[in-house]
Amino acid sequence: MTSIITRLQNKKMIYLAVSIFLYGVSGLDGFAQSRVSGTVEDESGMFIPGVTVVLTGTTIGTVTDIDGKFDITLSKGSERLSFSFIGYVTQQVEVGSQSIIGIIMIEDSKSLEEVVVTAFGVQRERKELGYTVQTLKSEDLITTQDNNIVNALSGKIAGVQVTQSGSQIGASSRIIIRGNASFAGNQPLFVVDGVPIDNTSTNLSGSGGLDYGNAAADIDPENIESLTVLKGANAAALYGNRAANGVILIETKKGQKGKEGLGVEFNTSMVFDVPSYFMNFQNDYGIGTRGGEYDWQQYLGRNPSSNLTYNEYAKRFSYNYVNGIGGGVQENATSWGPRLDAGLLLDQWIKGPNSPWESNPDNINDNFFQTQTNYINQIAVTAKGKEAFGRVAFSNRKMTGMFFNTDQTVNTLNANLTLNPHEKLTVGTNFNYVNRQSDNLPVVSYGSMTKLAWGAFRHIPLDEVRRVYDEFENEQGSGYNLNQNNFYYDLKQTNGMNRERFYGNVNVAYQINDWLTANTLIGLDYYDEMRKSITMSRTRANINNRMGGQFSQSDQTRQEFNTDVRLDFNKTFENDFSLIGLVGGNYRQNKFSSMNLSAPDLNVPNLFNVGNAKGTPGVGMFDSQKENYSIYSSATVGYKGYLYAGVTARNDWSSTLPEENRSYFYPSGNVSVTLSEALDIKSKNFSHLQLRASMARVGSDTDPYQLMGTYSTSLFNNSALFNSPAVMPPANLRPEMTTSMEVGADFRFFSDRLSIDATYYNQVTEDMILNVPTARTTGFASQLINAAKIENMGIELIMRALVLDIRDFRWNTTLNWARNTSTVVELYGGLENITISSGFGGARLVGTPGQPWGDISGLPFVRDESGNIKISPNGTPMTTNQQKILGNVTPKWIGGLQNLFTYRKISLGVLLDFRSGGDFFSGTYWHSYPTGAFTNTVQNNVRAEGIIVEGVKGDGSLNDVRISAQDYYNGAWVWNNHEYSIIDGSYVKLRELTLGYTFSIGKLQNIAVSAFGRNLAILHRSAKAKELGLDPEAASQMGGSERGTGFENFMPPTTRSYGFNLRLNF
Amino acid sequence: MVSYMKNILKNKISKLLAISTLMIAISCTQDWAEMNINPNQPSLVPASNIFGAGLTVVAGQLFGERIGIYYTGTWSGQLAATGAGDYEFRVDINNGQWDNLYRGMAYFEDARINALTEGNSNLAAVSLIMKAFTAQQVSDMWGDIPYSEAFKLGTEDILNPVFDSHEKVYTQILSELEEANTLLNASSIAVGVGDFIYAGDINKWKKFANSLRLRVAMRMSLVAPQAAAAVMSQILGNPATFPVFETNADNAYLKWPGTATNNIEPWRQRLGVPTNKQDQYRTNHDLISRLVEMEDPRLPVYADKNAAGIYNGYRMGIGQSGFPLNAQQNVSHIGNRYGYDDRGFSPFMHAAQVWFIKAEAYETGLVTGGNAREAYERGIAISMLDNGIVQADIDTYLQKPGVAWGTSSTPNVAKIRLQNWIGLYKQSVEAWAENRRTDVPKLVNVSNDYASNHNRPPFRMAYPANEIAFNESYPNTVNQVDIFYGDQIWWDTRKGVN
């Protein structure tokens, strides 16, 4: 905040100084003979004040005024004007006979990168820093109009891993910087204009559920001026105990860039998310059991006297529909029935007796999903005057989902005001109100999407199921099965939410003298979220149980309050030294409370009010509170503009730690030297070399109420049940400590047209406060202790190049690449491993000493010494109950490649995003075998010919037992094996493609239109992911937290997004 | 003013700021002790309510559908899950079964300690009984288990409780039950609200403790006959000191209130409503065929007729999912009393079993002085009465070949064992244990996936992954074959089984 004001003041001062000087100079040349005037604006159509306009080769010149206008009187014969401004490419213009000149300044991406935002919003030059930060501008975040700000970071920052958990409305995205440093809570801290913003993410487990999103998605990308990533503890140490995972610093648009008086920004977008990556369902065999030709032949073999035709066999033993409630043959079995499209005639639902047994390709694609739409509109008004400036914006995001009856609307009101009532006093406020509302969010999980595989058998026409729903709602069940809910009726069981959020701050800065400023900032992030889930009275279960429906409703509020008092100093001494720094204190309070109600049954059906509850309603409440005090300081000494050495120090007091360990101190230090200047080795080809190094420590605490064991309560026959504590409370808990070191270098060549920035880091988290599982035989399920040590080290590379710059054509490219190696160094008391997530179906996510973070542990194939799979006498793989590590979720490396082509006012952006390695356990793949619904269970004609499973028998000889495909794919062994469902999550994606054009019509000077696409193509994925039709990115994450990392479970299809955007400024 | 401020700020402000923040921090942190008291949950509660929580945890797990029907229910030959993968082992479910039973025992131990603090020795005694009861069920499923060092992380800092031999567990259970019998005193403080089994009737708790001791002794009687006989003689010889179950009024049944969602009987909760039976959990051919053959009047209580109007249990064996009689509509559902009653019961132990234990003890000569036939017939009658069978039908049944005492070539001891097994319907862990001990009836129909390798249902539950991972005392010498097979447990003396 302060920094922006400082910057503004600096700009003003430059403007003043330059204009006084130039006016003075120009005044001397009073005998000019021609006048040239015009305006200068940037690419987005914002007028730029303070641009220096100089007659080339002279000192004659002026600067643009607050509206970007200039007016210069030239002596005859003058030919060229030069326009220059910090952060923009200097332009030369032939004057010729023109008297009015319009100039569009193009931002200089290289030099803009030079000024970066650091902790507490302090603007520094990159060369002053001994650690890495990386910045995105407004355009980088809004070009493809993703509703979740986190997604806009994909591929754009080295070392930042963004995993979008799905394409459905409200889906969480998980973001981690420099790998996982903890077993829970690895996401960075979000700070908007100096105020920490909650990013609580839905912590879905491996079985999935209802994703309410990640709370940072409430930050409207349209209001962001810049986003800076402070990677790891080195850059973020000043933010204290939540900074170990890095900080995402966001500065909002404040209106100071606008023209004097009234300004209006208008933006409208439409984005269509088209479901595109479907699972590969098979269309060869229908519902039933033992319906393959092989099974028929086996039957004939066992019954030599029988001469049943395939059709007769199928009807008698495999599948025949009578009433949908068990009256027929295998009416509700899985997709192991007779071959489709082979001329068979069977009794079927809807079609009637002896109807053609035919496939239904695209059944699910066409009848279950629809194109998801997003309409985004924003209007912002800016105003600027001498003593104040500001911006007020309103935006509306309206979405309808790919699942029928799902939607979400987000309204954001944002106001930024800055007052300068006195030349030394600045008072500002940033106010945000966000309302996120949804009548129904989709449930994505084992429980819901599975129905498509288990229940929507390959021959059932879903359009007919829909027709049954339209006519009978749920009275006929799914239509073909009276005891199963109609799929479309299930979408009436809604899960609504309404979040009202306020966040913002009030800040006061007083400039004590030219090098000292006092700041106060009071910030609040508060939200109230109501969730309501209902179950309608006519579900099959409620019909059977004669119940009137159920509901649950919860209301939760979360609040963080911060007060900072700070002194900033920035002084340059005459003897080549400079000093910049700050000293301050912080008080932070976090509160959470929730209340929930639920009704097990309702008197009046479908009246979802607790007063209407039948029986005892479920009730609950939870409150928690936590406080922190901190003092902190930092100081950096500079020498001759090429050598900088800085230190920071912070001491925290945490309410949640035991009294004796409440206070903890941690320092950091960094040094940076611009060798090219220090040694004066700068040349055109080798234009810049900076080396940097830093070392930092950050301490951290834990959640409230962990120090004492408590009993949870439930009821039995109106008596209270007290459940003994499951967690053994800690005896002497210490704060956890993260120690981080990094070294880096910034090389630039060819007048900075090519730059390579390389960083190596090593971060160790020790004394990690963990809920460590104990054997249940100890009497407890876990104990809270300082239990683990994790090390992350890695390399980050950022390569930028201006590949082509021919006349009006420019090609910029940026490559971000990072490799992180995490190691669980040790665990408490020689633990074999620690469960990070209980995962799904027995496949768990664990941390194993000596291994990278996030091993997937599960049941393996039993193999002999040479690695052959051992096969039981019954022809299926042998099983074991000894779990093994089957894969690891941590990618080998990640990165993004950004290309931007500009030609005059046309721009084309292409972003590729890639990840190498990182496994996941696919719940869908796991079930693809037993359901028989997917293409992998019909490959190689196995249902007609049977299968000899590859492997060796007990005596070591090659397996030669031919069995039915159903005995293999639907055998009991599949439930005792997770290895076959581990999938490599590597991918290359065409993440963003944008085509933009800027033009003017009359008074509307800068109309920007663009067409864009997101996630247009998965250019590469592993063979197994392709086989099943999985998007490896969404498949490797459920919800937004660790519990869902590395697990996929009947995910909805990933979409391709197509969008159009129009921007007006006037 | 401004210049004065400026001066202060310039020279002093950093120090002031630091000091004042520090002062605020220190003064405010004194309130933190109070702020850290959890406002949501208590840390000190009445022991009786902890005991009650333990009862519901153990009942929900032991008499829930996974252990009760899917695993030990199938292995006992009484129940079945239709469809493939009948013995399917799932890591997380397996962890849950072990963890919940140990959780229940931890609650009983916590209740016992708290009861002693409260001065309630009756509550301490019943807590001990329930812990011992659960330990027998757990050790009968898994064999060697942590027991003597279990539940002591909080008190003695034991993080890796040692695995006691099955025999040692039995010894401890026997002495705990004896201790509980001694502690119980009807004139002392009442057990309190948590006694959902006997509502505070101390004499019935005494009977439960001693009946359980008899059962433990009988279970080990083939491997440790002398020790078993000593226990049995002590109890049966001193009925005043050691009363045991006699009638169904003594049965240790936990009856579910059937009110809210989580207070409905667990099988019913899983299986659905009686008017619309759809679940795949059904009855087993091994039980149903025997009941049909003996024209057992309990049959309509235990099972329903199938769609074709006959009693037909699910058949195990190679190709089982292809048998036409195994198709969903052809397999008998579980009867309403056991599976489809909101206010149904969880049978911890019943009187009939005590009569059969006596009968076997007298018949085999473990204990002298009793009448085996009388005990046998009392056992049958009490089991019948418990199932609502009228006396006339009982009398007819007692005359049937295969039932009547002393007739046919079947030895009486096999009849006792068979009747005990039939009576243990829904006490699946017991039924499976008795079947492994006696091999009566002989169950040779093994689930399809295991049938080619094995001639009997599983011998043991597999140790759960969590215990193996977190308890360093886990003996890595355990021999588990095909997950559920390997070494027979201590009291399983059958020969020629695999």
Partner-chain contact B470 A832, CB within 8 Å: yes
- State the alpha helices, DSSP H only, in A337-460: 363-367, 450-454
pLDDT bracket for residue A70 (50, 70, 90):
confident
List CB contacts (< 8 A) between A843 and chain B: 91
Query: Is A707:A729 a contact under the CB 8 Å cutoff?
Result: yes
pLDDT in tens, B334-352: 999 999 999 999 999 999 9
pLDDT in tens, A341-354: 999 999 999 999 99
What Cα–Cα distance (Å) separates residue A261 from each residue in A388, A675, A811, B68?
11, 46, 36, 78
Strand partners, A306: none
User: Given CB atoms, is B30 within the 8 Å cutoff of chain A?
Assistant: no
DSSP state at residue A862? P
Region A413-439: mean pLDDT is 95
User: Given CB atoms, is B104 within the 8 Å cutoff of chain A?
Assistant: no
Helix (H, G, I), strand (E, B) or coil at A31: coil
User: Given CB atoms, is B498 within the 8 Å cutoff of chain A?
Assistant: no
One-letter amino acid identity for B486?
G
In which residue are the tokens 């932070």 written? A588
Number of Cβ pairs closer than 8 Å across A and B?
282
pLDDT in tens, B205-260: 999 999 999 999 999 999 999 999 999 999 999 999 999 999 999 999 999 998 76
State the best of A483, A511, A716, A834 to mutate against chain B, taking most chain B CBs within 10 Å. A716
- Please list, in sequence order, all residues whose beta carbon lies within 8 angstroms of the beta carbon of residue A673, skipping any fewer than 6 positions away: A642, A643, A644, A690, A691, A692
Enclosing H/E stretch for A625: strand A618-639
pLDDT at A482: 85
* Chain B residue nearest residue A729, CA to CA: B154
Of A1052, A984, A1009, the closest CA to residue A905 belongs to A1009
User: Given CB atoms, is B388 within the 8 Å cutoff of chain A?
Assistant: no
- What is the least distance, in Å, from the CA of A711 to any CA of chain B? 6
Mean pLDDT of chain A: 89
From the centroid of its chain, how far is CA A844?
A: 23
Which of B 416-435 lie inside 8 A of A, CB atoms? none
Choose between A678 and B21: higher pLDDT.
Answer: A678
In which residue are the tokens 């679940």 written? B279
User: Given CB atoms, is B172 within the 8 Å cutoff of chain A?
Assistant: no
In which residue are the tokens 């002398």 written? B226
- The b-or-e profile of A173-193 (16+ CB within 10 A means b, else e) is bbbbbbbbbbbebbbbbbbbb
* Chain B residue nearest residue A727, CA to CA: B154
Q: Pick left, alpha or beta for residue A159 (phi over 0 → left; psi -120 to 50 → alpha; otherwise beta).
A: left
Query: Is A904:A928 a contact under the CB 8 Å cutoff?
Result: no
DSSP state at residue B314? B
Of A279, A267, A242, A523, the closest CA to residue A1027 belongs to A279
Q: Pick left, alpha or beta for residue A258 (phi over 0 → left; psi -120 to 50 → alpha; otherwise beta).
A: beta
User: Given CB atoms, is B109 within the 8 Å cutoff of chain A?
Assistant: yes
* Chain B residue nearest residue A656, CA to CA: B36
Q: Pick left, alpha or beta for residue B40 (phi over 0 → left; psi -120 to 50 → alpha; otherwise beta).
A: alpha
pLDDT at A109: 55
**Phi, psi at A297, each rounded to 5°:** -60, -40
Q: Which of B42, B85, B328 sits opposite A972 (nearest CB)?
A: B85
Least confident of A242-256, A495-509, B196-210: A242-256
Is residue A578's pLDDT more than 60? Answer: yes
Partner-chain contact B448 A874, CB within 8 Å: yes
pLDDT bracket for residue A471 (50, 70, 90):
very high
Partner-chain contact B151 A779, CB within 8 Å: yes
User: Given CB atoms, is B322 within the 8 Å cutoff of chain A?
Assistant: yes
- Please provide the distance, in angstroms rounded to a whole number, between the alpha carbons at the two ends of chain B: 97
**Phi, psi at B330, each rounded to 5°:** -100, -5
Helix (H, G, I), strand (E, B) or coil at B236: helix
- What tokens does B498 get? 């695999």
- What tokens does A313 get? 């066999």
Is residue A860's pLDDT more than 70? Answer: yes
Partner-chain contact A722 B150, CB within 8 Å: no
Partner-chain contact B21 A631, CB within 8 Å: yes
Q: How far apart are CA A252 and CA A4, in angstroms?
A: 10
- What tokens does A908 get? 């084309």
Is residue A111's pLDDT more than 70? Answer: no
The two beta strands, A34-42 and A100-105, are parallel
The alpha carbons of chain A give a radius of gyration, in whole angstroms, of 32
pLDDT in tens, A664-681: 999 999 999 999 989 988
Q: Which of B14, B196, B276 sits opposite A583 (nearest CB)?
A: B14
pLDDT at A6: 43
pLDDT in tens, A720-777: 999 999 999 998 899 999 999 999 999 999 988 999 999 999 999 999 998 888 999 9
Longest dimension (CA), chain A: 120
Q: Pick left, alpha or beta for residue B139 (phi over 0 → left; psi -120 to 50 → alpha; otherwise beta).
A: alpha
Query: Is A782:A762 a contact under the CB 8 Å cutoff?
Result: no
- What is the least distance, in Å, from the CA of A133 to any CA of chain B? 28
- What tokens does B326 get? 């195994």
- Please provide the distance, in angstroms rounded to a whole number, between the alpha carbons at the two ends of chain A: 26
pLDDT above 90 coverage of chain A, percent:
65
The two beta strands, B145-146 and B485-486, are unpaired
pLDDT bracket for residue B3 (50, 70, 90):
very low
ipTM over 0.90: yes
A342-A345-A351 Cα angle (round to 5): 115
Choose between A13 and B264: higher pLDDT.
Answer: B264
Q: How far apart are CA B127 and CA B124, in angstroms?
A: 5
Is residue A685's pLDDT more than 70? Answer: yes
Q: How far apart are CA A58 and CA A45, in angstroms?
A: 29
Q: How far apart are CA B181 and CA B206, in angstroms?
A: 5
Partner-chain contact B33 A518, CB within 8 Å: no
What Cα–Cα distance (Å) separates residue A237 from each residue in A228, A701, B353, B474?
15, 15, 69, 44
Asked whether the CA dihedral A231, A232, A234, A236 is positive or negative, the reply is: positive
Q: Pick left, alpha or beta for residue B358 (phi over 0 → left; psi -120 to 50 → alpha; otherwise beta).
A: alpha
pLDDT bracket for residue B188 (50, 70, 90):
very high
List CB contacts (< 8 A) between A832 and chain B: 469-470
Query: Is A577:A638 a contact under the CB 8 Å cutoff?
Result: yes
- Please list, in sequence order, all residues whose beta carbon lies within 8 angstroms of the beta carbon of residue A369, skipping any fewer than 6 positions away: A275, A402, A403, A1052, A1053
- What is the least distance, in Å, from the CA of A587 to any CA of chain B? 9
Partner-chain contact B273 A567, CB within 8 Å: no
Q: How far apart are CA A817 and CA A610, in angstroms?
A: 54
**Of A178-187, A614-623, B184-193, which one has max mean pLDDT?**
B184-193
Q: Which of B25, B53, B272 sits opposite A722 (nearest CB)?
A: B53
